Structure 1
């Protein structure tokens, strides 16, 4: 049974957990996207509480977003927020007591993304040691016959698009920091296989999951693919490509070119599926169906990746401008001083109650205001928008 933590409906009425104020420079910069945007960001961080009591990707995404904003506008309050939270979870000798590598949950790797920038900013070697603790999971994480990481031990033989974002940017960081280029070769190989197994050749879009064993009810018996193109899964996928491209600077140029090619192919497919407002639907390729809706986290993730890809030179400038337009539209539509709306709280495949990956299933999942996955995507997209 999947039980989700409670997320506050309003950041204005939730209990304040910390003092936090953005600098005047940051307030002015973020106000480009609407006066409500910096008010929401400030209030959200003031009331932020861990999503779970152990090392998890939801918290990791928020920390990643806050560090991205810090890199874009230089407001030390953002760095201090992440340092205080992550620093409280990493021991002086580089252990992460609340992280259990033997769970073999690929989601748990994502939070490791923040360790390298904290190490470089602070010079504290405990963060470098914690990268090794984080990587210990990947040393023995189960893999498909193709060599791809299982999504989770409880989802054997399965690849979900989400998992590429959860593990591969961190693995790329670790390859560079520890001078292990073979790890980046492994990352490229995993992306390559997903590009073959989960991509729908008719649209260039990707299905949410793939089951090597073909035993799941949601898996096509011939292809192993699930049936729908879920918006946030596409967001995870294209952000993973853009982030790995950025983080792999100095590594194998042939592998980086392959990642850039996948990024361009994906961006071309997604720009063809924009809604009339320039956003993306919960089920991306079925925008005209009754009940489908423009989903905030997917739209913000895709916007972020389009802008980053253009900044890195892997995508045309026009794609970056489409991403900027999507960010502006999302801020106007979904962001108020109290909340970020339009975010699907969670979606997955299998488990209990069984999630069959159908159109009706994705439309049945609850919309959750202020869900951390949406807020993180907002911060990441704002960080890229500020660079344009």
Structure 2
């Protein structure tokens, strides 16, 4: 009886100490130091909320996702700077969750021809170069092959998606072209760089707004979509994040264009035109509006993801020597605007980004008409992955 009593006492003590240990652990949550750089503060905040990368945006199950791909390109840059293995492991963990030992993607049908699917493939180059595991090379080859029979507009532009025939969106340049450029340089002696440049040329020619120097969100070569201008085929409005995708696509694709390539100067010129134009529409806060050229219209707001993307594109353009150093002021003003107005810090040092447009597009079901009212009506979120990734990239670039 005494033995049984002692057993219950021991069990009670174990339960007591376990419960208190859990309480102690909860009370002593890891505090993210404000002495760290903004890039690491953001990276650690994301990891704290989402121990595995596939959980970002509160996904219920693992998914190969273009937004997570953007975020992990930031982690790759951080790892290259810090050599901290936790950043590398975070990237590798995501790839290994979605790609099996044979290099096959989970839930991927190449016939879907969705250019968004390509973007996260950028993390595979370094994984393959580091590990030399065949599965990463196989996965890279799978994504590259998708371009071989990818549907194109009559003038040779990749459709945004199979479900959006004959349409090119600025978003799609970021999703596909930096990957395509890197692959063709590393595995094909750069033979497809002209094709990469052609994608930018088409949207520069057809989506460029001469009045503002900015770019309309998309272009329908068939001019059949109800949202498309009957004469030009362009979407009715300039959308901030689309400008951001375009700027990031330019500076990232340019990484793989040799200076003596005949298209390199052309792409650099496009970047200079963009930086000049968006500087004119930068708000006094340093940020940009959801619809940049209609700042005073009712309902418009300063949006975090597109502002962060432009900061990244301009800062990298300056760092790479594509843009005059004077644009460094534009980038710094934008980043300071983000910190002052849209970044919030909680008691544990965790940082959050606010005023992020959750999503926006054209056509589809339910139908999106590209009107001003449509862009303003889309949900505004805190810590949406578009904002997390873009801020992380901007912070890394400015810390240089």
TM tier relative to shorter chain: 0.7 to 0.9
Contact 1:309 1:320 survives alignment (8 Å): no
Shift of the alpha carbon at 1:307?
0.5
Aligned pairs for 1:1-388 (under 5 A) are: 28-31=35-38, 37=42, 40-46=45-51, 48=53, 49=55, 51=59, 53-246=62-255, 248-250=256-258, 253-336=261-344, 337=350, 339-387=352-400
CA distance in 2 between counterparts of 1:382 and 1:75 reads 17
Whole-Å separation in 2 of the counterparts to 1:156 and 1:361: 22
What secondary structure, in the 3-state scheme, does the structure 2 residue paired with 1:253 have? coil
Deviations 1:180-204 (A, max 9, x none): 4231110001111110000001111
CA distance in 2, matches of 1:191, 1:37: 31
* Whole-Å separation in 1 of the counterparts to 2:126 and 2:328: 25
Which structure has the bigger radius of gyration? 2
With over 3 angstroms needed to count, the CA separation of the structure-2 counterparts of 1:368 and 1:124, relative to structure 1, is same
Q: CA 1:333 to 1:43, structure 2 compared with 1: closer, same or farther past 3 Å?
A: farther
Q: Tell which deviates more after alignment, 292-301 or 38-47.
A: 38-47
Q: Is the 8 A contact 2:124 2:136 kept in 1?
A: yes
CA deviation profile, 1:228-282 (whole Å, cap 9, x unmatched): 1100000000000010112x14475221211111111111111111011111110
Bigger shift: 352-361 or 221-230? 352-361
Shift of 1:363: 0.3
- Asked if 2 retains the 8 angstrom alpha-carbon contact of 1:345 and 1:371, the reply is yes
Asked whether the 8 Å contact 1:115–1:127 carries over to 2, the reply is yes
- Between stretches 41-50 and 189-198, larger displacement belongs to 41-50
How far apart, in 2, do the equivalents of 1:175 and 1:28 lie? 41
Take 1:384 and 1:72, find their aligned partners in 2: how far apart are those partners?
Answer: 11
- Structure 2 Cα separation of the partners of residues 75 and 342 of structure 1: 31
Runs of at least 5 residues in structure 1 that lack an aligned partner in the other structure = 1-19
Counterpart CA distance in 2 for 1:327 and 1:75 is 25
For 2:207 and 2:336, locate their aligned partners in 1 and report how far apart those are by CA, in whole Å: 31
CA RMSD between the two structures: 2.3
Distance 1:72 1:288 in 2: 41
C-alpha contact (below 8 Å) 2:290/2:303 kept by paired residues: yes
Q: Is the 8 A contact 2:259 2:265 kept in 1?
A: no
Shift of the 72–358 alpha-carbon distance from structure 1 to 2, 3 Å rule, reads: farther
Going from structure 1 to structure 2, the CA distance change for 1:317 and 1:76 (only over 3 Å counts) comes to farther
Q: Deviations over 1:301-350 (max 9, x none)?
A: 00000010001100011212321221222123222236321100000001
C-alpha separation between the residues in 2 aligned to 1:180 and 1:37?
Answer: 37
The answer to whether the 8 Å contact 2:258/2:264 transfers is no
- Equivalent residues, number: 363
- Which of structures 1 and 2 has the larger relative contact order (alpha carbons within 8 angstroms, sep 6+)? 1
Q: Determine if contact 1:343/1:371 at 8 Å carries over to the other structure.
A: yes
Q: Which piece of structure 1 moves more, 253-262 or 356-365?
A: 253-262
Whether the 8 Å CA contact 1:21–1:77 is kept in 2: the answer is: no
5+ long unaligned stretches in structure 2: 1-28, 345-349
